[in-house]
């Protein structure tokens, strides 16, 4: 399995429009963070988790020409706004794109991409095949995804485990009853927004506390704000088995 971090930035991305802080002006490529998403290549199958506003740019940057399914964590715009661009894969692959999400996510897709489901469709719009998921493991192309039901303030969000890898992005609470699904991991990609506490995301300290509990072999933080500090500075403070993710990072498992 190869996991590519397509984007590692919070909802505004880094740099932030109009901001001239040190992080936003940094020349380090690791301080340029598109909106969060990952690409998974497993047994010759290709998946993305979320299609944020930077989806098109991420597909181009990584040279991705095959996509078997889209799996959604939750319905926030920084995770869904780029869905229209899956039509490129409809044309390339000559088939509908399977999309997986919980009922609330699919309802929102229905509403916000209403033209996709219209009776008389404009030619060239995306062709989607929606699949509802719940908090039970599901299979796509023979690959088993185990949802992890977490909270993002009051909003339920899915993280996903595939084999010894797990991705949990927008989160500030993981119930004890879900934590067992995150034990024995080789790699965990976990949301950590900034140093200060936040209403709907783990702070750096809270994320480190969760890593301490779960003990994955390696952890990469994602959904990072410019308020976290420069990549190079933050990494110096982290334990050796915890790193900040950065856009384009590839993890081989």
- The mark string for 117-146 relative to Zn ion (x by CB under 5 A, - otherwise) is ------------------------------
Candidate ranges 43-51, 76-84, 110-118, 177-185; the one touching Zn ion (CB under 5 A): 76-84
Min CB(20)–Zn ion separation in Å: 7
Q: Specify whether the CB–CB gap between 245 and 39 falls below 8 A.
A: no
- Near Zn ion in 204-233, by CB under 5 A: 226
Candidate ranges 64-72, 73-81, 122-130, 206-214; the one touching Zn ion (CB under 5 A): 73-81
- Could you give the residue ranges of the DSSP H alpha helices within 167-251? 176-179, 204-214, 231-237
Residue 78 lies near Zn ion (rule: CB under 5 A): yes
Q: Specify whether the CB–CB gap between 34 and 249 falls below 8 A.
A: no
CA 171 – CA 41 distance, rounded (Å):
24
Min CB(114)–Zn ion separation in Å: 22
Min CB(155)–Zn ion separation in Å: 7
CA 81 – CA 15 distance, rounded (Å):
19
Closest CA to 165 of 140, 142, 148, 141: 148
Min CB(64)–Zn ion separation in Å: 21
Candidate ranges 74-82, 90-98, 203-211, 230-238; the one touching Zn ion (CB under 5 A): 74-82
Q: Which tokens is 163 given? A: 């084999």
CA 243 – CA 246 distance, rounded (Å):
9
Closest CB to Zn ion among 90 and 108?
108
Candidate ranges 78-86, 94-102, 117-125, 210-218; the one touching Zn ion (CB under 5 A): 78-86
- Could you give the residue ranges of the DSSP H alpha helices within the chain? 55-62, 77-80, 87-93, 103-112, 176-179, 204-214, 231-237
Min CB(100)–Zn ion separation in Å: 17
Q: Which tokens is 150 given? A: 């977490």
Which residues would be at the binding site for Zn ion (CB under 5 A)? 11, 16, 19, 21, 24, 76, 78, 170, 226
């Amino acid at each position: 399995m190869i996991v590519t971090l397509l984007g590692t930035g919070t909802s505004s991305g880094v740099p932030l429009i109009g901001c001239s802080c040190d992080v936003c002006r940094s020349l380090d490529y690791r301080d340029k963070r598109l909106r969060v998403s990952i690409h998974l290549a497993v047994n010759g199958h290709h998946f993305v988790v979320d299609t944020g506003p930077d989806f098109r740019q991420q597909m181009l940057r990584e040279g991705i020409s095959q996509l078997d399914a889209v799996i959604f964590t939750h319905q926030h715009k920084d995770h869904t706004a780029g869905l229209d661009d899956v039509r490129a894969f409809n044309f390339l692959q000559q088939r509908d794109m399977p999309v997986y999400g919980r009922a609330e996510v699919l309802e929102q897709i229905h509403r916000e991409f209403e033209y996709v489901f219209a009776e008389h469709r404009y030619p060239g719009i995306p062709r989607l095949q929606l699949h509802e998921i719940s908090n039970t493991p599901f299979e796509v192309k023979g690959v088993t995804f185990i949802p992890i039901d977490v909270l993002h303030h009051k909003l339920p969000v899915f993280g996903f485990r595939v084999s010894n890898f797990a991705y949990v992005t927008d989160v500030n609470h993981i119930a004890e009853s879900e934590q067992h699904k995150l034990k024995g991991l080789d790699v965990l990609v976990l949301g950590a927004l900034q140093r200060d506490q936040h209403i709907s995301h783990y702070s750096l300290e809270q994320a480190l506390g969760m890593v301490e509990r779960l003990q994955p072999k390696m952890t990469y933080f994602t959904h990072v704000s410019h308020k976290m500090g420069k990549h190079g500075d933050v990494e110096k403070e982290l334990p050796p088995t915890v790193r900040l993710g950065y856009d384009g990072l590839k993890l081989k498992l």
